[in-house]
């Protein structure tokens, strides 16, 4: 087959895939890409939510009379009249859905959905929702990560680990570091407001939903409504951003399906921007304590990392702050501790590089501090502790070019121009600082399936229940299928985002391109095998009796690897055998071990130059350089775009984003785009991106994942640059003016 990166070292493929324009670009710029909120039906009804105005307590009375009598209203559904529903399923990351809000009269967070109103029009639904009168019995709420009343879960996910004896090594270390870090809660704010359109036909349910994981939503709805999974179809061909917001079957999704069943019509619900803040999750508030022990020559002898994150009442959701602490550096003694604090807050959920971005801020800030203590260059300190092998297993990484990330990043950044003395670099009234951070992410892969068809007209159709959340999945899947089938990209059509297609994992954990790519790789091989089986006894075929290992595909035809002249086209084979198409299945069931190697995550090094005006407390990012080892890059253009977006999100986390809970009422005080700040163009400087390394040898297509790695090191790189500029060490995000004054 053409250019199949099997990493035997002999294939003619390259690191950087062609910078092909997005294949779905024309649909998007002409406004014809159907996002979930665009879906409509002739008999569509509209829903609006009523949300709790207390954080804890019970509903003591509901008066829906005025709402029910309002113009156009079809139903007001509350816990008093909701049909019985079963609990949702579990995923490896906790319950697929947070606790269903209408199960009874209990309130566990402010903004909990307490009613859904359905009306003929969107405006009528919103107007009627305001007329629903709820009486509450308020009880004391538990708010604030340091609240002594809050239940604390210890090691809830079994992530805690020990290597060697960190406590003893800290006792005897020549240099000891011990600091705490805090990071504010953040809200996922994809531009596309999350929407659900649900339609029942008998006991069959179809749902257009803003999700990153159609199979999980399908399973959840089937379980909740007690129907076979095959009766539920979840569609999301396009999504206006995800970032982790679409990794759960949120209560509003279930409520919309309930509403559609109750009124016997299709129902659409589009969350408002303020409702996004209580409905789709984000980054939980976190606290960390990090202790490092080092020798005077800069060898880490101990790491003790304790992470604490907030969690909603009665929910469970993984927040892996400490997950990569033990694999980032070659330190003999490591201990990690994982806590979650239950509060009366909406379910935090996940936000780009969940946990790991927070943990990296602590670890990479701490290393920076130690580098100044020891008088070592920050890069040199990291190189002295380079994890040549996977530190827990001792196995060689399937690929690791973090050293190249440091080198190439430093070159492009001009790191040698850095005067190591704190406060020594200036530009007029601005203090100038250079900072950097290293990034080790985690490996995540899940089973994935595709179908691959080649038709009589010589075109291919690829289908999978995977989603493209705006990252370029359609484009890279098209490129990969074209490459493996020997077709032009214009001859390949990819269909995603439909749970009726072959099952696929979430677009999350930076894992989809690799597992989908591996499934495409398998499917392409299987469809070629199917063509060979058709001509196995065909006297007229030059491919008669050939094995799939003997052939490859190019220019719409299958030919012998050794002799391109011997072969024939897909079209000729199909026509001669009077077949309309050949279809094959592709599948990958990745395992986290095997082949005597440690499957590698993506790595990166990130560099920031900042300007600080100490008198005014102003902080500007002058430029950032990100060097990434993500294995093979399928499309240089979409990959670069992913990293730039990730860096922008990291800048948001570092400088601006903070979900502010009123400590008395649990109300989110800044649940609008006027108050919750995300970076705008003027906040973002020149962002340079470089890809280094080589295709990974653990996976058939050599990729390692790109979605999150670019966010992770941004905060530490900027905070470290702020220290270099000012001598002020910031261990709390976002970095605010008062921290700089």
Could you list the beta-strand ranges (E) of 125-266.
133-138, 152-154, 162-163, 175-183, 186-187, 195-201, 204-209, 232-235
Contact criterion met (CB below 8 Å) for 325 and 367: no
Asked if 708 is an active-site residue, the reply is yes
CA–CA distance, 727 with 730 (Å, rounded to integer): 10
CB of 385 to ligand MOS, least distance (A): 28
172 to 211: interface string for ligand MOS, x by CB under 6 A: ----------------------------------------
Using the rule CB under 6 A, give the single segment among 351-359, 369-377, 411-419, 713-721 that binds ligand MOS.
Answer: 351-359
Sign of CA dihedral 510, 514, 515, 517: positive
User: What tokens does 264 get?
Assistant: 């016997």
- If phi > 0 it is left, if psi is from -120 to 50 it is alpha, else beta; for residue 28 that is alpha
| C-beta nearest to ligand MOS: residue | 244
At its nearest, how many Å lie between ligand MOS and the CB of residue 351?
A: 6
**Residue from the set 98, 242, 298, 645 that interacts with ligand MOS by CB under 6 A:** 242
Q: Does 413 sit near ligand MOS (CB under 6 A)?
A: no
Compose the 4-23 pattern: x for residues touching ligand MOS by CB under 6 A, - for all others.
Answer: --------------------
Among the listed residues 378, 470, 509, 517, the single contact to ligand MOS using CB under 6 A: 509
Q: CA dist 585 to 66, 477, 520, Å? A: 55, 15, 9
Asked if 720 interacts with ligand MOS (CB under 6 A), we say: no
Q: Which of 55, 276, 335, 351 binds ligand MOS (CB under 6 A)?
A: 351
Q: Helix, strand or coil for residue 236?
A: coil
**Tokens read off for 681:** 């163009």
CB of 284 to ligand MOS, least distance (A): 12
> Residue holding tokens 């600082």?
433
Q: Which is nearer to ligand MOS, 409 or 590 (CB)?
A: 590
Paired residues of 627 in beta bridges: 605, 690
- Compare residues 507 and 726 and give the one whose CB is closer to ligand MOS: 507
Cis check: omega of the bond before 734, within 30 degrees of 0: yes
Which tokens go with 700?
């058939």
Single residue of 17, 251, 508, 567 touching ligand MOS by CB under 6 A: 508
Residue in the block written with tokens 């809000």 = 101
Least distance (Å) from ligand MOS to the CB of residue 185?
A: 15
Among 36, 94, 214, 244, binds ligand MOS (CB under 6 A): 244
Q: Which is nearer to ligand MOS, 432 or 646 (CB)?
A: 646
Q: Near ligand MOS by CB under 6 A, which window of 55-63, 347-355, 479-487, 565-573? A: 347-355
287 binds ligand MOS (CB under 6 A): no
Residue with smaller CB distance to ligand MOS, 508 or 590: 508
d(CA 46, CA 268): 5
Q: For ligand MOS, which stretch binds (CB under 6 A), given 190-198, 256-264, 290-298, 344-352? A: 344-352
Spatial distance between the Cα atoms of 631 and 623, rounded to a whole number of angstroms: 25
**Tokens at residue 712, please?**
């992770």
Contact between 248 and ligand MOS per CB under 6 A: no
Give the residue with the Cβ less far from ligand MOS, 504 or 582: 504
Strand partners of residue 199: 206
**Beta-bridge mates of residue 439:** 604
Counted residue by residue, the chain has a size of 741
Cβ closest to ligand MOS, residue 244 vs residue 601: 244
Binding mask 210-239 for ligand MOS (x = CB under 6 A): --x---------------------------
* Cβ neighbours of residue 38 closer than 8 Å, sequence gap 6 or more: none
Size of the site for ligand MOS (CB under 6 A): 11
Q: Are 726 and 740 a contacting pair, CB within 8 Å? A: yes
Token output for 326: 């033990």
Residues annotated as catalytic (active site), given as ranges: 708
Instruction: List interacting residues with ligand MOS (CB under 6 A).
Output: 212, 242-244, 247, 350-352, 354, 508-509
């Amino acid at each position: 087959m053409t250019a199949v990166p099997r990493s035997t070292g002999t294939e003619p493929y390259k690191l950087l895939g062609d910078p092909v324009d997005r294949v779905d670009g024309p649909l998007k710029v002409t406004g014809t890409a159907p996002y979930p909120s665009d879906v409509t039906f002739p008999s569509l009804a509209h829903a609006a939510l009523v949300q709790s105005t207390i954080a804890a307590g019970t509903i003591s009375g509901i008066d829906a009379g005025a709402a029910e009598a309002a113009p156009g209203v079809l139903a007001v559904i509350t816990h008093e009249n909701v049909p019985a529903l079963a609990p949702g399923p579990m995923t490896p990351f906790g319950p697929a859905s947070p606790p269903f809000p209408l199960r009874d009269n209990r309130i566990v967070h402010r903004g909990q959905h307490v009613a859904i109103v359905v009306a003929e029009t969107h405006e009528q639904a919103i107007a009627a929702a305001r007329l629903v009168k709820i009486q509450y019995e308020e009880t004391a709420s538990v708010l604030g990560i340091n609240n002594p009343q809050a239940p604390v879960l210890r090691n809830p996910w079994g992530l805690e680990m020990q290597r060697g004896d960190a406590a003893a090594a800290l006792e005897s270390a020549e240099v000891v570091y011990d600091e705490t870090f805090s990071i504010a809660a953040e809200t996922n704010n994809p531009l596309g407001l999350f929407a659900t359109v649900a339609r029942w036909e008998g006991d069959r349910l179809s749902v257009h939903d803003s999700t990153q994981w159609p199979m999980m939503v399908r399973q959840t709805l089937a379980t909740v409504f007690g129907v076979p999974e095959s009766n539920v179809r979840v569609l999301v061909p396009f999504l206006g951003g995800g970032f982790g917001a679409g990794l759960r079957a949120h209560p509003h999704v279930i409520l919309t399906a309930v509403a559609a069943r109750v009124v016997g019509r299709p129902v659409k619900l589009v969350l408002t921007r303020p409702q996004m803040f209580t409905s789709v999750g984000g980054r939980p508030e976190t606290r960390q304590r990090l202790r490092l022990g080092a020798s005077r020559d800069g060898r880490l002898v101990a790491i003790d990392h304790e992470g604490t994150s907030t969690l909603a009442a009665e929910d469970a959701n993984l927040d892996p702050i400490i997950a990569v602490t033990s694999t980032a550096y070659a330190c003999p003694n490591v201990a990690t501790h994982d806590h979650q604090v239950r509060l009366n807050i909406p379910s935090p959920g996940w936000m780009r590089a969940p946990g790991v971005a927070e943990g990296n801020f602590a670890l990479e800030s701490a290393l920076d501090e130690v580098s100044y203590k020891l008088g070592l260059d920050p890069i040199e300190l990291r190189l002295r502790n380079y994890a040549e092998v996977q530190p827990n297993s001792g196995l060689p990484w399937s690929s690791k070019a973090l050293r190249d990330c440091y080198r190439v990043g430093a070159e492009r950044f001009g790191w040698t121009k850095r005067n190591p003395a704190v406060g020594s670099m200036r530009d007029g009234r601005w203090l100038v600082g250079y900072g950097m951070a290293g990034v080790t992410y985690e490996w995540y892969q899940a089973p994935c399936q595709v179908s691959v068809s080649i038709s009589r007209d010589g075109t291919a159709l690829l289908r999978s229940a995977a989603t493209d959340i705006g990252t370029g999945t359609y484009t890279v899947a098209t490129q990969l299928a074209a490459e493996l089938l020997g077709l032009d990209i214009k001859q390949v059509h990819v269909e995603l985002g439909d749970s009726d297609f072959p099952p696929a994992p979430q677009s999350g954990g930076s894992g989809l391109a690799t597992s989908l790519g591996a499934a495409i790789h398998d499917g392409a091989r299987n469809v070629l095998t199917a063509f060979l089986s058709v001509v196995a006894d065909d006297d007229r075929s030059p491919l008669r009796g050939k094995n799939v290992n003997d052939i490859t595909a190019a220019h719409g035809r299958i030919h012998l690897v050794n002799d391109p002249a011997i072969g024939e086209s897909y079209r000729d084979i199909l026509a001669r055998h009077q077949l309309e198409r050949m279809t094959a299945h592709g599948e990958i069931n990745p395992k986290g071990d095997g082949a005597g190697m440690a499957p590698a995550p993506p790595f990166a090094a990130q560099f920031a130059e900042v300007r600080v005006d100490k008198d005014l407390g102003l902080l500007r990012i002058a430029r950032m350089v990100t060097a990434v080892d993500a294995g093979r890059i399928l499309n240089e253009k979409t990959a670069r775009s992913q990293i730039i977006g990730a860096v922008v999100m990291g800048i948001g986390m570092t400088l601006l984003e903070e979900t502010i809970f009123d400590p008395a009422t649990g109300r989110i005080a800044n649940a609008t785009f006027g108050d919750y700040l995300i970076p705008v163009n003027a906040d973002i400087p020149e962002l340079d991106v470089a890809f280094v390394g080589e295709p990974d040898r653990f996976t058939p297509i050599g990729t390692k994942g790109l979605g999150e790695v670019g966010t992770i090191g941004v905060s530490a790189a900027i905070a470290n640059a702020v220290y270099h500029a000012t001598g002020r060490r910031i261990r709390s995000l976002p970095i605010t003016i008062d921290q700089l004054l």
